[in-house]
Amino acid sequence: MVNTSVRRLSLVLGLLCANCYAQNPLDFGSNIKTADPSAHVWQDGKMYLYTSHDEECQDDFYMKNWHVFSSEDLVNWKDHGAVLSVDDLAWADNFAWAPDAAYKNGKYYLVFPAGTGMKDRQNPKNSTKWMGIGIAVSDSPTGPFKDVIGKPLWREPYANDPSLFIDDDGTAYLYFHGSGKDFHVARMADDMRSVEGDLMEMDMGGYEPKMEGPWVFKREEKYYFTMPENNRELAYYMADSPTGPWTYKGVFMEQENQSNNHHSIVEYKGQWLLFYHRWLKDAADSCPTPQRKVAAEYLQFNSDGTIKEVERTKAGVSDFSDRIK
């Protein structure tokens, strides 16, 4: 009898422990649906995630606001709420898609896509959807953010999925997904209110697949241009400059269930991390279909700087505090 009770207790404790260490998707303290995580570490030493917000059972990515979450251990997160909404914009009323953020000139900047109209998937010729990229500013990493120019940075070409990279010399580069303009980059003005010059087409070494959601970072004097190739698997290029020429290096995370992915990569307390989203269904969801939720994994590099393949895990980065001790 005693042995049976001990075995039962051990089983219960094991299940509890398994749940404690199952941190993918990340636990934001509610059943909020999030996607397109943009990860940044600011001067206060915390990790911040800027995300899009999927409404429950939303229609065709009709999205209305952007959220910010912060953490010091990547397990316990604080939701700072909606820090900008399409209701705050005079030039758009929908499509609050993947944002990014940057710190420059003592201010925090949120670069975001938004748009108008509708997309008719059955009869594309009837579609009126348009999207552009805006820039908002705040004195705090958690906002609220204010649309600083009251219009998109440009109207043509149609563009979304902006990614801001600030190089060591302070120059800010804006990468994006655009109609006929993928693999282009814009140099931002120093005041972050406009684009300087024309959009620059980058040399991608002759390989330019369909893509969205670019993310650029620097590690040990090498620049990395990463993206969801074919909007599904995560792939990357390397270069000696933030504008290329780039050399394609391959896929580092395979696609999952034919679903799109969107990611960011950042170093935090000596650990390189990949944030991304998954399409999952759980008992707490009211929708019958999978919905997007943000997850995280460790990212590792080979000795030559190339990225090792990343597998999706249930544990994610739940042992982060132990790793940095």
Q: Kindly state the tokens that stand for 311.
A: 């597998």
Q: Residues 163, 185: contact at Cβ < 8 Å?
A: no
> Among residues 54, 147, 182, 212, which one is catalytic?
212
**Residue that has been written with the tokens 């590792």 in this structure:** 300
> Among residues 36, 54, 147, 182, which one is catalytic?
36
Q: Residues 176, 133: contact at Cβ < 8 Å?
A: yes
Q: Kindly state the tokens that stand for 243.
A: 């504008």
| Count of residues in the chain | 325
The CA–CA distances, whole Å, from 210 to 36, 105, 161, 179, 201 equal 18, 35, 14, 11, 15
Whether 229 is catalytic is no
**Residue that has been written with the tokens 């390397």 in this structure:** 238
Whether 36 is catalytic is yes
Residues with catalytic roles: 36, 212
